[in-house]
């Protein structure tokens, strides 16, 4: 039994207010509580483009859970940022016909934060914890029996009167999201019945995502314009939607543009220093540092992070996955190395 230091008294009752977003699965309620960026999110499996295998696996589990009248098993979603982990959690809630409670691990600082969330859950509801690798140890230990046995073990009283009180919880689904699955402790990882990686999106799926977003924003884009945004969005829908909005800004300022074409996309994205492969200034800075200062590598991650003034975990989980995916960077046992394709892209092949 986990021994935890959370205490519940009347004066100190769990108050998740402000630390949690409560989202109803029905679209009308969602619009009321979600931000503007969220209005482009798909809300059901049918509208969710790409991630075919993930959807297939989750659809089966959702259908089975609904058929048995049970809560969906706990789900861990991992992968680089912007690929749709939060969106998928909302889709799951919608498909299950339950409310989603959204929070993020850094907001669960005190034991009573997670206690409050768990105690307020209604049967079969979905609790989404973003950045779950950052969960404080006490919160993590409270989650173990909650996930496994639907039981909350609370320490009540002080000194001689201290004892553990167990509270039964309703069946619920924890959806954890992380960019760093490797940073999760194995006891926590093992308690997820489903553990799924989100992959970078294929070009044709990204093009469809841009078309869908353009339609929702009431914009008219040529197929080539959608394709150009798809090519330059780092295989990431969140970035595709962001680039689309920057293109819209340029079109608005120019005025008189009924249809946005590839040339306008190119001009707008040049302005934002997003190159033809989707690399931004920080990607190029990393590659340039390796090439200019170290002849292309190998260089250790910590050296790169110190030189660029970046956090090494961010470089590792946010910047590098895309550079590796486009084949511009390799991780080797001796450090990071720029590939030949990376050198060609930066026009520095001659320096080898
Ligand atoms: N917008 C962002 N991600 C999306 C996805 N996977 N499908 C459809 N629209 C999206």
Give yes or no: 212 in active site: no
Nearest atom in ligand 1 to the alpha carbon of residue 84 is 3
Nearest atom in ligand 1 to the alpha carbon of residue 212 is 9
Task: Please choose from 36, 45, 48 the residue to mutate so as to test ligand 1's pocket, defined by most ligand atoms within 8 A of CB.
Answer: 48
* Distance (Å) from CA 96 to ligand 1 centroid: 19
pLDDT in tens, 74-87: 999 999 999 999 99
Between 262-271 and 237-254, two packed helices, what is the crossing angle to 10 degrees?
A: 100
Between 137-149 and 111-119, two packed helices, what is the crossing angle to 10 degrees?
A: 20
Catalytic residue among 41, 124, 130, 234: 130
Does the Cβ of 237 fall within 6 Å of ligand 1?
Answer: yes
Q: What is the pLDDT of residue 2?
A: 30
252, two tokens: 């608005």
Cis peptide before 10 (omega within 30 of 0): no
pLDDT in tens, 308-333: 999 999 899 889 999 999 999 999 99
In order of their start, the domains of the chain are 41-197 (3.40.50.300), 203-271 (1.10.8.60), 281-351 (1.10.10.10)
Average predicted confidence (pLDDT) for the chain: 88
* Distance (Å) from CA 287 to ligand 1 centroid: 30
247 pLDDT band, cuts 50/70/90, is: very high
Give yes or no: 85 in active site: yes
Bridge partners of 166, per DSSP, are 153
Q: How many angstroms separate the Cα of 58 from the Cα of each of 92, 313, 352?
A: 8, 29, 47
Give the SS3 label for residue 21: strand
Does the Cβ of 82 fall within 6 Å of ligand 1?
Answer: no
Give yes or no: 112 in active site: no
Q: What is the pLDDT of residue 280?
A: 92
* Distance (Å) from CA 201 to ligand 1 centroid: 10
Beta strand 163-168 with 151-156: parallel, antiparallel or unpaired? antiparallel
* Distance (Å) from CA 235 to ligand 1 centroid: 12
Q: How many angstroms separate the Cα of 289 from the Cα of each of 174, 272, 307, 324, 340?
A: 41, 21, 8, 16, 15
Does the Cβ of 40 fall within 6 Å of ligand 1?
Answer: yes
- CA 244 to chain CA mean position, Å: 20
pLDDT in tens, 6-38: 333 333 334 333 345 555 443 322 223 455 557
pLDDT in tens, 92-142: 999 999 999 999 999 998 989 999 999 999 999 999 999 999 999 999 999
349 pLDDT band, cuts 50/70/90, is: low
Burial class (CB in 10 A: 0-12, 13-18, 19+), 228: buried
Catalytic residue among 41, 55, 86, 205: 86
Closest CA to 344 of 323, 321, 328, 322: 328
Q: What is the pLDDT of residue 23?
A: 53
CB-CB contact of 101 with 117 (8 Å): yes
């Amino acid at each position: 039994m986990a021994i935890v230091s959370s205490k519940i008294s009347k004066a100190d009752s769990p108050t998740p207010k402000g630390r949690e977003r409560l989202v109803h699965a029905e679209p009308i309620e969602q619009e009321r509580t979600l931000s503007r960026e969220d209005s482009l999110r798909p809300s059901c499996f049918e509208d969710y483009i790409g991630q075919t295998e993930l959807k297939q696996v989750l659809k089966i589990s959702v259908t089975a859970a609904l058929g048995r009248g049970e809560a969906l098993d706990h789900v861990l979603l991992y992968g680089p940022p912007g690929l749709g982990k939060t969106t998928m959690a909302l889709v799951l809630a919608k498909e299950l016909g339950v409310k989603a409670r959204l929070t993020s691990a850094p907001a669960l600082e005190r034991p009573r934060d997670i206690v409050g969330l768990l105690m307020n859950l209604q049967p079969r509801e979905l609790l989404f914890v973003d950045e779950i690798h950052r969960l404080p140890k006490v919160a993590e230990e409270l989650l173990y029996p909650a996930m496994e046995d639907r039981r909350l073990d609370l320490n009540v009283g002080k000194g001689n009167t201290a004892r553990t009180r167990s509270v039964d919880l309703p069946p619920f689904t924890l959806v954890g999201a992380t960019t760093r699955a490797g940073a999760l402790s194995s006891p926590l990882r093992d308690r997820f019945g489903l553990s799924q990686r989100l992959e970078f999106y294929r070009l044709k799926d990204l093009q469809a995502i841009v078309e869908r977003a353009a339609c929702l924003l009431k914009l008219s884009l040529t197929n080539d314009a959608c394709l150009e945004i798809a090519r330059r969005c780092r295989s990431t829908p969140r970035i595709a939607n962001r680039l689309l909005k920057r293109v819209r800004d340029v079109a608005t300022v120019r005025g008189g543009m009924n249809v946005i074409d590839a040339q306008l996309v190119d001009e707008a994205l040049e302005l934002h220093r997003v190159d033809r492969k989707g690399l931004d200034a920080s990607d190029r800075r990393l590659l340039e540092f390796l090439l200019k200062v170290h002849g292309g590598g190998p260089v250790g991650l910590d050296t790169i992070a110190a030189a660029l003034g970046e956090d090494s975990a961010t470089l590792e989980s946010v910047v590098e996955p895309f550079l590796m995916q486009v084949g511009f960077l390799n991780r080797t046992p001796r450090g990071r190395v720029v590939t030949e394709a990376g050198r060609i892209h930066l026009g520095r092949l001659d320096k080898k």
